[in-house]
Structures are given as structure tokens and as C-alpha cells.
Copies of this chain bind each other. A is one copy, B any other.
């Protein structure tokens, strides 16, 4: 049953990073819920367009998030 939605800004993480997030988040869930529930644990990635996610009214771009990440 558990469903986990990971919401990101498009263009910040590549396909391999997104796959790794899915694996690690699935494992994190299974550690709490028990191995018997792995098969019904759904994890999804959803991406919001660069510039369409704002904090305090300031749109974040993929570039800005990458700078923060690498700081």
C-alpha cells in the first residue's frame, strides 16, 4: 500500500540519480514497514518545470538548485 511521491525540479537530477532515489527510498520504507510489504510499496518521481517552483515568490531554476547542491 504505501505510495511515495518524490517531487523534483526537472533538469536537476539525471536518470541514474532518480533511479538511486527510488531504490534508497523504497529501502527506507521497507526498513520500517517490514520486508513482507516490499511488493506493494510504490515509489514515483514527478518533475515540475524549471522556474515553476517558487520559494517566497522567487522561482527556482534548475541552475539555481544545482548551484546550491554543489556549494
Question: What residues make up the interface of A, taking CB atoms closer than 8 Å to B?
Answer: 1-9, 12-13, 15, 17-29, 31-34, 36-49, 51-57, 59-60, 65, 68-71
- Per the bound structure, the CA–CA distance linking A3 and B43 in Å amounts to 12
11 A-B contacts (beta carbon < 8 Å): A1-B55, A3-B7, A4-B6, A5-B5, A13-B32, A17-B32, A21-B28, A34-B69, A41-B55, A43-B54, A44-B53
Known: A4-B5, A4-B7. 4 other contacts (CB 8 A): A24-B31, A26-B56, A40-B55, A42-B55
Chain A interface, DSSP helix/strand/loop, else mixed: mixed
One of B21, B24, B52 near A45 (C-beta < 8 A): B52
